[in-house]
Amino acid sequence: MRDALALLPIPGRLLGVLLVLLGALTAPHALNLSPSVLAFFYVAAAWRMLVIRWPAWMPGRLTLFILMLAALALVVFSTGIGDGRLAGTALLVVMLGLKLLEIRARRDIQVTVFLGYFVVMTQFLYDQSLALAVYLFAGVLALTVIQVALNREHADLRVQVRKTAGMLAAALPLTLVMFLLFPRLDSPLWAVTSKGGITGIGDDMSLGDIGHLSQSNEVAFRVTFFGVQPSPEQRYWRGPVLWHTDGKHWSGDLRPTQNVKAAGRRLATVNYETTLEPTGNKWLFGLDLVVDAPNASEVDRNGALVASDRINKRYTYRAASD
C-alpha cells in the first residue's frame, strides 16, 4: 500500500500549501539571517510554485548543482564560519530551498516536511518568546497535517486536521512532564560557546588570552542617536572595567552601583538607542559617562552599564550620557 501511494502523482494543492507554510515558518529568521540568504530561499520557493503550473520549468541536475555551489558560497560570504549557530541555520535554509526545487515524488515532500521541523527548531536558538512559540506550534500542527495527508489517497482536510490535533494532544502530557523534569542549564549552550574565539569583552581575562583571540567582522552593536550626534573623538564606549588582579588573572567584579537616575534628565546631552548582539554576559555599552541608565540595568562604580540578566538574544535599550 505504501509503494502504491508513492507512485501516485503529487497533489499540487497540497504542495502549494506546503510552500506557503514553509515561507511563513522561515519568515521570523528575517531578524537573524542575512537578507541574501532569505532571498535565495524565497526565490526557490516561488520557482517551485511556478513549476506546479508549468512543469517544464523544473530545473535539471546541472542547474541544481550550480545552484548548490551558489548557495554554499552565499552562506560563506554572508555569514562566515565563525558563528556555527548562524552558519548552520543559513545552510539549512538555503538547502531547504534547494530541496523544494527537486521535489518530484511524495517521498521528497516527506523529506521536505522533516526539514521544515528543523527550521522550526532553529527559531528557538534566537528567540524563546511565548508569542513565537504559539506561532511555531501552529506551524508544526500544519506540517503534521500535510505529513498525515500524504499517506492518504483521498485526504479530507478537516478529517486530517482533527486526527493531527488528536495526535498532538496525546503527546502533550509527555511534553509537559519532560519540560518539568528534564534538567535545564542556567543559560543556553549556544549562548555559552558561540562567541568563543571572537574578539570581544568578557567577565575576566588571563595572560595569553589576547593572543588567542581571533579577529571578527561581525557587528557588536548598532547605535541610533537622537538629536546631536557626538564627534568621533567623543564616541568612547565604556564597557566592563577589569580592576581586580593577582598579576596573572583580571576580573571585573560588580561593585555597588551608582544612583544615576535622579540627575540623568538634567545632565544628559546625548540620547541614543543601542541594539546589542548576544554576548552571553551582562555587560552593556554606553557613551562615557552614562547619566540615565536603561530599564533593567544599573551603572557600577566604574561607570559601566550592567544588565540584570545575561544577554542571550539581541537586546535594544535606550540611554543618555553627559
Cβ neighbors of 242 (< 8 A, separation 6 or more) are 204, 205, 250, 251, 252
Q: What is the pLDDT of residue 45?
A: 94
Convert the pLDDT of each residue in 261-300 to its tens digit: 434 444 457 888 988 888 878 888 888 788 888 887 888 7
- 42-51, 166-175, 313-322, range with greatest mean pLDDT: 42-51
Convert the pLDDT of each residue in 17-36 to its tens digit: 899 999 999 999 998 888 99
Q: How many CA atoms lie within 13 A of 21 on its CB side?
A: 26
Give the pLDDT mean for 79-91. 82
Read off the C-alpha cell for 260: 544615576
Convert the pLDDT of each residue in 129-154 to its tens digit: 889 989 998 999 889 888 888 877 66
Measured CA to CA, the distance from residue 320 to residue 286 in angstroms comes to 8
Higher pLDDT, 212 or 247: 247
CB-count burial class (<10 Å; 0-12, 13-18, 19+) for 241: middle
Give the pLDDT mean for 307-314. 84
Measured CA to CA, the distance from residue 49 to residue 19 in angstroms comes to 7
What pairing do the DSSP bridges indicate for beta strands 315-321 and 270-276?
Answer: antiparallel
Cβ neighbors of 241 (< 8 A, separation 6 or more) are 252, 300, 302, 303, 304
Read off the C-alpha cell for 137: 506550534
Convert the pLDDT of each residue in 175-228 to its tens digit: 888 878 876 654 555 444 444 445 456 667 776 565 555 555 567 788 888 887
Phi, psi of 20 (to 5 degrees): -65, -40
Largest CA distance in the chain: 78
Measured CA to CA, the distance from residue 13 to residue 222 in angstroms comes to 44
Measured CA to CA, the distance from residue 130 to residue 127 in angstroms comes to 9
Q: Is residue 93 predicted with pLDDT exceeding 60?
A: yes
Higher pLDDT, 50 or 215: 50
